[in-house]
Amino acid sequence: MNKKTIDQVELKGKRVLVRVDFNVPLDEGKVTDDTRIRESLPTIQKIIASGGKCILMSHLGRPKGKRAMEFSLGPAAQRLAELLKQQVIMATECVGADIEKATKRMDAGQVMMLENLRFHPEEEKNDPGFSQQLAKLGDIYVNDAFGSAHRAHASTEGITKFLKPAVAGYLMKKELDYLGRALAEPARPFVAVLGGSKISGKIDVIGNLLGKVDTILIGGGMAYTFFKAMGEEIGNSIVELEKVDLAHSLIKGAASSSTKLVLPADSRVAEELKAGVKTEVRSNRALRENDTAGDIGPEAEGNYAQIIRKAKTVVWNGPMGVFEIGEFAHGTQAVAEALVEATRAGAVTVVGGGDSAAAMKKFGLEDKVSHVSTGGGASLEFLEGKQLPGVVALTDS
């Protein structure tokens, strides 16, 4: 990574303004999944230990530019305080003269959480005036919010025009190192596993990976748009009719590249995708009119697991089926377990995307692979080969 990191700046006595991604799920004012908070702890603890004044800013939910207190970052600040075992000052705002004075009154080692950035419409509009107001709250800017790095917002991109140095935190560095190394210097065989319901979200990823990876394994609802393009019967399975021609061109593109594109040999089907239904296994050349595919089948599971276990680099984005329903979780679990086996054998395994990360957590395997990305949209855009505005804006090393 050719960007400055938190290790390359003097933090002692400085107001260190950190963009974190504390967009965490809440239930009745309590954080129900603190993964993103925990992932930012190394950066926060580094600032505290170095005698810096740690000022955190984040968004949470979609308050649509209005002060909606159900989206307050108070619960996240409370959970952070529990994890740090020290007080976290909860600010009532994220900009303004009073907040600026409060940051200057902070003692070395103290932590402050600013209120939700998206209470202000200027945040998502990347308004220069708002960026400048944020910049007044710090002496150094640290971006540790990889999950928001694909957005050119005031707190991720605009602020760097007014506050330098702008450096990467440890989580940002870890994300870029794993994803960057996987694409730039992969040990081979290099396998990409792509799933999810729609091909439209993965078109650019597939296009960017053709010729770079050795094998692309396709699963999830998106597989049936490919099957439609091949003239196969798909029953009532999900399909994007407007993307059929594109799927056909991707199949042709793969055929003329060094990348093998693999589709599932069979599917688990039912008349409805809901808990408790009776499922059947069908070859993907023998789906019937009333069949709705909800998962890859056992033959595909075995084939995909075998390919993954032999890989030296694996990137996974998107589940193999409707894994939230037990009857259709088998394929996703098989892929997750194969990733764990590949990791044990020395492979670099990177899981990106919110659903894939949720699946790893559901199966209790999130700490048994090389890296689980905290940034769904950001990791997807990285795999597409796009530059992330929040990363580009950081100071070059």
Q: Which residues are catalytic?
A: 36, 198, 354, 377
CA 199 centroid distance within chain: 18
Distance CA 139, CA 137 (A): 7
Strands 313-317 and 88-90: unpaired
The sign of the torsion formed by the CA atoms of 143, 149, 153, 159 equals positive
User: Taking the CA of residue 396 as centre, how many other CA atoms within 13 Å lie in the half-sphere pointing to its CB?
Assistant: 0
